Structure 1
């Protein structure tokens, strides 16, 4: 089957087999969501189907948890040794861009890299000197939402690229760049003034 037909077939198959409740990532209130988030996961599985992904994301968004920021993290902490799939963000500080790039390159390749900044030279430096499964500049997760682009990890962080026009489990090393002209601030709700 062609990639688009495969995704449509998968979406139809899952819709025939599972109810909306069964496809929900989390059912229940915030306590249920917290308990679900505490479970250990060995792998994160994506369906490769935009329609199924939308249903899963819609179900998950109904039971969200506020993000948790962890400050002053060190490399020996468990949170810094495993891939994170949840509303937890460890904050690692750096003194120079070169130090940050060296840190990224001294560890296994990440599934995704997010660069926030407005300096074109710094952006080019980060993109040319690091390797990751996906990159988003001044945003988050928009690389996954680009249906025409491959999505997936490299090295120990993934099973290769899928999704997109080259929909295949084995994709040659390629680089795709999509420029999205949205600012992060336009996606954030306005903070109340105190």
Structure 2
């Protein structure tokens, strides 16, 4: 994007102040929230084809259908869910007080926070911008969005789309590079949602700390597949291929590596090869459905993993096609039994490379997962319910799809979030609505209450003390 269109650093704070002043003057009621969401949905639906073409231009080539699914459908689905439940979620929630405090009554009231900041990534630049934005709007907040500088055309699309839907003092968009992002993260928001890498997440957390800004951090990490001995290899290959090579692996919850029984490795590689070639054919450069790596820096990083693996004697098996640096085309590739010293096993891959690590026992596989940082997603494959329950009991992850990949993200009522190095907090559906609200506890005291008797000299109410302290 031309830097002339970037948001000046000195304009960030005044824009935040404008958003907050407008919010304080007129906090959004149910009617406004619903109307905002309806208009956002209509505008996005009308411009879905333009959205897909714009994202493809940023990537050099991206499957238009994958953009319609991952950036269009998911955002529309979330907005529909918010609209369906908004009135009920906004209502005060009655809670019990316990017999000792009767006849008082209590409730929790979801109240808006103020201005929510959203820092969105490049891999799903519309989905991961609009879902937290729509959730913040549903919760009654104003929003300041910072889309990724790595997808500048999509950032401009979002800026124009949101200007069409919202007044400038309700939703604003800041565009620009790392300097804008760093300053943006340090603004005194009432809540900040960041989606991106763990390394950048640490910087965002440090920038937010002086203001004690509450954070939702959706990070990444190495999300494992644990393929158990009883699960059919062909079906596993098909479902893992979808999760891994959708968007060319540029997905925060893509399977990062596969743990599988040693005796199944060769059959699994063969099944993956058949699956990939059935989907994309032998010539990836002529396949509309195979997405490219987003920029030269990401391509070089991924090629560096391959170069490092080959230098270490790790076998890399290309499943279809061949690399084309001019197109930033990197083919689906598996790496056989890399050690933890290999670069591909040290960082989140975020690309079409899939390490396969064999294990002898389930205990060994679980121990391997637990010896590393807690992942954003975990994918156990087994038809044995006891085995799956054991994996769920003995590991901790941000989210789980059993016998599939990715799809837990798309279920509106499942909160989406990480744990430890893969993030903190969660959003989607009511979890997001609650995270971007202040759940205000309110106690309504009765006209007459036993509490009026609890004062010195306590001897006068000894019978009441004996009653409640038992």
Do Structure 1 and Structure 2 share a fold, with TM-score over 0.5?
yes
C-alpha separation in 2, matches of 1:118 and 1:87: 27
Q: Among residues 402, 405, 429, which one is paired with 1:137 in the alignment?
A: 402
Cα RMSD for the two superposed structures: 4.0
- Cα distance change on mapping 1:121 and 1:59 into 2, 3 Å: closer
Higher relative contact order (CA 8 A, sep 6+): 2
C-alpha separation in 1, matches of 2:345 and 2:38: 34
- For 1:153, the equivalent position in structure 2 comes to 418
3-state secondary structure, aligned to 2:358: coil
- Cα distance change on mapping 1:148 and 1:11 into 2, 3 Å: farther
3-state secondary structure, aligned to 1:73: coil
- Cα distance change on mapping 1:81 and 1:97 into 2, 3 Å: same
- For 2:53, the equivalent position in structure 1 comes to 21
- For 2:115, the equivalent position in structure 1 comes to none
Once structures 1 and 2 are overlaid, which stretch shifts more, 153-162 or 67-76?
153-162
Q: CA deviation at 1:134?
A: 0.9
- For 2:131, the equivalent position in structure 1 comes to 49
Alignment of 1:175-190 (within 5 A): none
- Cα distance change on mapping 1:71 and 1:59 into 2, 3 Å: closer
Higher helix share: 2
Q: Tell me the matched-pair count.
A: 153
- For 1:38, the equivalent position in structure 2 comes to none
C-alpha separation in 2, matches of 1:75 and 1:169: 39
Is contact 2:62–2:247 with CA below 8 Å preserved after alignment?
no
- For 1:179, the equivalent position in structure 2 comes to none
Structure of larger gyration radius: 2
C-alpha separation in 2, matches of 1:7 and 1:105: 44
C-alpha separation in 1, matches of 2:424 and 2:403: 26
Higher strand share: 2
Deviations 1:38-88 (A, max 9, x none): xxxx986633539xxxxx9x9878333653211111111111111232222
Structure 1 consecutive aligned stretches of length 4 or more whose deviation exceeds 6 Å: 58-61
- Cα distance change on mapping 1:111 and 1:48 into 2, 3 Å: farther
C-alpha separation in 1, matches of 2:359 and 2:42: 43
Q: CA deviation at 1:156?
A: 1.1
Q: CA deviation at 1:103?
A: 0.9
* TM-score, L = length of structure 2: 0.28
Structure 2 regions of 5+ residues with no counterpart? 1-27, 64-120, 133-153, 155-245, 249-287, 292-329, 437-470
- Cα distance change on mapping 1:44 and 1:88 into 2, 3 Å: same
